[in-house]
């Protein structure tokens, strides 16, 4: 299979884990990178084997050797730069969330359809065997009928000047980590009779940052009557990225479903037995890049496409509104 030829927008810390290391493991080419600070881009390129450093994000997008753009910029810059890449005919692997709000996500989706390119949103966890096993337990009936789902995304607070606290850059707990919990609930639609709907949401604002959620809790209801609970916070004492699925015959718990390379356990409890499975610490980002390449090269199904991204943003916006906050504003570049 011909290696993917990737251009990177920015030298964000996550880019090393999310694209550079997976590219090395899968044989993808890192063709070009640009950053606001050229020195950072040069250091990133030297560390990760990027072929060349360019002067601007647009130069990376316009590079004729680049076929796919990886966008790890601040949340508020996802939508605008995704649209720039699409306009240039480039496929996009974007960090989540793909846009600042559902209106912007719809623009990205529609532009991708019109241009005939692929937009993949970086909910990498869903490709890892940990999540695949959780879904398999439901699909095979080992847990019985779905009854309740608890998705928790809690982390210690970033520094006060971190862009994840910036309303204008589409920050907040839901946008940074809570989106994983909401997406994980949506991924259980096949066993819940369809997509879950929001029942209620409550949130707390960050001190001195009106409109920016420090925490948000949400209750969901599936069409078959199963319920979902989401708890997300960027003010926790320690990391808790866990997922619990409860059925009529048993339950399954993954203590680190979003970062399975740190803890790959799935604990299953049924009426008859309890056991722990280890699903492997290969990075979920590597599985994600493999899925992206398989789709582009062989037409393999893609779970986290632009339609899925739009549906997730609709749910995020609904959570904000029900909690008394506003969806994140769109950014301009």
Catalytic residue, candidates 96, 140, 207, 282: 96
> What's the token pair of residue 172?
């907040």
CB of 249 within 8 A of CB of 143?
A: yes
CA dihedral in degrees (36, 284, 286, 20; nearest 10)? 20
CB of 102 within 8 A of CB of 317?
A: yes
User: Is there a catalytic annotation at residue 96?
Assistant: yes
Residue with structure tokens 């356990």? 265
Q: What CA–CA distance (Å, rounded) separates 131 from 170? A: 27
CB of 94 within 8 A of CB of 78?
A: yes
Cβ neighbours of residue 268 under 8 Å, at least 6 residues apart? 137, 142, 143, 250, 251, 252, 274, 275, 276, 277
Q: What CA–CA distance (Å, rounded) separates 160 from 181? A: 24
Q: Is residue 272 packed enough to be buried (19+ CB in 10 Å), middle (13-18) or exposed (0-12)?
A: exposed
Q: What CA–CA distance (Å, rounded) separates 51 from 14? A: 19
List, by residue number, the catalytic residues.
96
């Amino acid at each position: 299979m011909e290696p993917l030829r990737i251009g990177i927008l920015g030298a964000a810390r996550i880019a090393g884990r999310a694209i550079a290391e997976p590219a090395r493991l899968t044989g993808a080419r890192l063709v070009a990178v640009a950053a606001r600070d050229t020195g950072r881009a040069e250091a990133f390129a030297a560390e990760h084997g990027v072929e060349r450093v360019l002067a601007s994000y647009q130069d990376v997008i316009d590079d004729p050797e680049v076929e796919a753009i990886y966008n790890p910029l601040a949340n508020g810059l996802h939508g605008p730069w995704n649209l720039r890449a699409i306009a240039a005919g480039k496929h996009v692997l974007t960090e989540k969330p793909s846009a600042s709000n559902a209106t912007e996500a719809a623009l990205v989706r529609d532009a991708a359809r019109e241009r005939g390119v692929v937009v993949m949103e970086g909910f990498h966890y869903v490709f890892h065997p940990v999540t695949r096993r959780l879904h398999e337990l439901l699909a095979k009936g080992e847990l019985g009928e779905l009854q309740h789902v608890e998705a928790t995304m809690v982390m210690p607070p970033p520094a006060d000047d971190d862009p994840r606290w910036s309303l204008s850059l589409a920050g907040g707990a839901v946008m940074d980590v809570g989106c994983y919990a909401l997406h994980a609930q949506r991924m259980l639609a096949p066993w819940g009779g369809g997509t879950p709907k929001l029942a209620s949401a409550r949130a707390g604002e960050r001190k001195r940052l009106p409109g920016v959620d420090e925490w948000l809790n949400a209750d969901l209801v599936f069409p078959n009557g199963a319920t979902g609970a989401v708890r997300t916070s960027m003010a926790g004492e320690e990391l808790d990225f866990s997922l619990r699925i409860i059925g009529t015959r048993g339950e399954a718990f993954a203590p680190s479903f979003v970062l399975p390379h740190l803890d790959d356990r799935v604990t299953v409890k049924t009426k008859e037995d309890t056991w722990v499975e280890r699903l492997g610490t290969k990075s979920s980002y590597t599985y994600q890049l493999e899925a992206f390449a398989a789709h582009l090269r062989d037409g393999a199904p893609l779970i986290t496409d632009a339609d899925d991204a739009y549906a997730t943003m609709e749910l995020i916006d609904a959570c904000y509104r029900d909690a008394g906050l506003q969806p994140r504003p769109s950014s301009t570049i």
